[in-house]
Amino acid sequence: MRLLNINKNIIVLAIVLLSMIICLTAAIASSKEGNSTDFSQVFSNLMESTAKENKELLVGWNDYLIKVVGHSNADHLKVIEEFTKDYAKALKAIDEKYAKDREQDKMNYTSTWLDDVTERFGKEFVCNNITAIMMNMIIAFQRTDAKRYDQDANEIISKESILYLAYESYLNHFMDYYNQLSEKDRKKMNAWKVVAEKYLSITNRSHFAFTHYGRHLNNKMEENAMQKENNELYMYFKKLILPFGSGALQKAIKDKNLFVKKCEMQGLLQPDNN
Amino acid sequence: MEQIGIFGEFFRAGNEYALRHYSETDYLDDEVINFDNKTQLRAYLSNLQKDPTTWTVLNTVARNFGLDACRTTIDRCDKEDLDFLCDKILSEEWVLIIRKYHGMKSVKLEQCCIEVTQFINKEITASAITSAIIIALPFFQALFYPYPEKVASMASSAMSIGTEDWKQLAEAIKGVNQHTRKIISDTAGIHSLHHHNNRRLQQLWEEISNAFA
């Protein structure tokens, strides 16, 4: 009898492990396609593996949802899948836009901005304020980028919020269902719990908002500092209309470095004054 | 593969050629190519020129001196420009160096660098969550996924970053989406400006910016 119990435990453990492997495989597969984490796929796989051994628990879960929300498990997963696709599509679109714009920026870039600022402020001034000038240039890049991407980013953030709220609603119902199960049944649904907790742990903040606006405070402070340091220079760059965005940043940095070399060679650069 | 570095260095066949001002400290004495006189220097430059692929070395050197006439090929440099270049090197105001190893030795991060590193870490984590990307490569883990105890020691310990590290980083970055790469590249680019008085840190952050671009 004891041997039989041990064997049962091993089987349960094996099922849990198998379910987790299936989930992980699904997540990796979705990453290769460049989609967001495919929640519906992960739960479909969990359902498939649970249905073989513990069909009654799945039926119970479905009945629970219908009783509490009025819609089935399949209804929930279908809508979440739609939200996921919508979000993944928006992510893919902004990524493609970035890649395209970056190539375009590299092609459109010219060094004339450095010539123009030199003509306007004089070489000695530029030599000794090159860091501030470069910072103003980056702020100009960011202004161009904001015009290009902020609206898309805000739309993605709203899609992400819709998706995460759907995750939360579905998973909180699951956790309520799980908590009312017997200890024996909880063990059978452990893989679900692990996955549910994993997803719930990511829904407490917008990850895309962090990615897009994570340095916004610092960037804004840099901008304020530049305005305070030299308003004339700041306004000059603020009025600049650039035919390129931050995709040209590397080329601009390279030009800045070459310019510094020239300043050094011509003896125009004061130590610790750039 | 030929590659021009962020300070106009030229890398070829594992060597790095560059010009450095005498006051800079990021080169060793044995990396400097010494010349006794202008004839010898001219002969050295001419010799480099004979190799059809190394004319770009000279071109890069010339460009560092702001010799616009040399923008396409050293052959187009007029005598006066070349003399100016030779005089600067012979007077030891500027030195021509050749380096067998391209990398950064003894880089010490400052607290602000650690904060930016942690931001990059969070960016990549957020990106991984949104796109289900799994990233695990040594240099990535070493620099951008530091363990808590390592973060504490990052400011005090010196790091060496070699060509192989950059290659691994470049490989790992392939898994990061364009949007996140752009944000990190910009952040690293901005941070490099904060270290305009520290050549190593400036170069490190510019290279990180380059790597994510």
Does residue B115 sit in the same domain as residue B43?
no
Q: How do beta strands B3-4 and B10-12 pair?
A: antiparallel
Check whether residue B95 and residue B66 sit in a common domain. yes
* Residue B99 pLDDT > 70: no
Contact A143, A219 (CB under 8 A): no
Crossing angle between the packed helical segments B55-64 and B79-90, to the nearest 10 degrees: 80
**CB contact (8 A) between residue A257 and residue B177:** no
Say whether both B57 and B130 belong to one domain. no
CA distance A207 to chain B (A): 5
Residue where one domain finishes, among candidates B101, B127, B143: B101
Q: Give the total number of structural domains in chain B.
A: 2
Going by pLDDT thresholds of 50, 70 and 90, the confidence category of residue B52 is: very low
Same-domain pairing of B89 and B147:
no
Q: What SS3 state is found at A242? A: coil
What DSSP string describes A197-215?
Answer: HHHHHHTTS-HHHHHHHTT
Would you state the pLDDT for residue B6?
42
Domain final residue, candidates B101, B128, B159: B101
Looking at the fold, whether B84 and B142 belong to one and the same domain comes out as no
Q: Which of A242-246, B17-21, B108-112, B119-123 is most confident? A: A242-246
Q: What is the pLDDT of residues B186-205, one digit of tens each?
A: 999 999 999 988 888 888 88
- Judge if B82 and B118 occupy the same domain: no
B97/B109 same-domain check: no
By Cβ distance, the residue of A30, A96, A222 closest to B190 is: A222
Residue pairs between chains A and B whose CB atoms are closer than 8 Å: 127
In this predicted model, which residue has the larger pLDDT, B58 or B18?
Answer: B18
> What range does the domain containing B81 cover?
3-101
* Token pair in block for residue B30: 């044995």
Letter string b/e over residues A192-223, b meaning 16 or more CB atoms within 10 A of that residue's CB: bbebbeebbeebeebbbbbbbbbbeeebeebb
- Are B18 and B66 in contact by the 8 Å Cβ rule? The answer is no
Report the DSSP beta bridge partners of residue B96.
B19
| ipTM, interface predicted TM-score of the complex | 0.75
Whether residue B8 is predicted with pLDDT greater than 70 in this model: the reply is no
What one-character-per-residue DSSP string does B81-122 give? HHHHHHHHHHTTSEEEEEES--EEEEE---HHHHHHHHHHHH
- Percent of chain B, pLDDT > 90? 4
A253, A260, A264, A272, best to mutate vs chain B, most B CBs in 10 Å: A253
Q: Chain B residue with minimal CA distance to A205?
A: B126
The answer on B207 and B115 residing in a single domain is: yes
B114 in the same domain as B54: no
Identify whether residues B63 and B154 lie together within a single domain. no
Task: Give the model's pLDDT for residue B206.
Answer: 87
The 8-class DSSP code of residue B32 comes to B
Task: Please list the pLDDT of chain A residue by residue as tens digits (274 residues).
Answer: 444 444 545 444 444 444 443 343 334 333 333 344 577 778 888 888 888 888 899 999 999 999 999 999 999 999 999 999 999 899 999 999 998 998 899 889 988 999 999 999 999 999 999 999 999 999 999 999 999 999 999 999 999 999 999 999 999 999 999 999 999 999 999 988 988 998 888 888 888 998 899 889 989 999 999 999 999 999 999 999 888 999 999 889 888 888 887 887 777 777 654 4
For A:112-171, CB contacts with B below 8 A are: 130-131, 134-135, 138, 141-142, 145, 160
Q: Under DSSP, is residue B16 helix (H, G, I), strand (E, B) or coil?
A: strand
CB contact under 8 A, B134 and A160: no
- Per CB-CB distance under 8 Å, the chain A contacts of B182 are 98, 102, 145, 246-247
* Domain-terminating residue out of B84, B101, B118: B101
Least confident of A35-44, B53-62, B124-133: B53-62
Domain locations along chain A: 2-265
Sheet with strand B94-99: strands edge to edge:
B3-4, B10-12, B15-21, B94-99
Distance of residue A171 Cα from the nearest chain B Cα, in angstroms: 17
Owner of token pair 């123009």: A116
**Residue B126: what pLDDT?**
81
Looking at the structure, tell me whether residues B96 and B120 fall in a common domain: no
Which has more confidence, B56 or A98?
A98
Regarding whether B197 and B116 lie in a shared domain, the answer is: yes
Q: Which residue has the tokens 């570095």?
A: B5
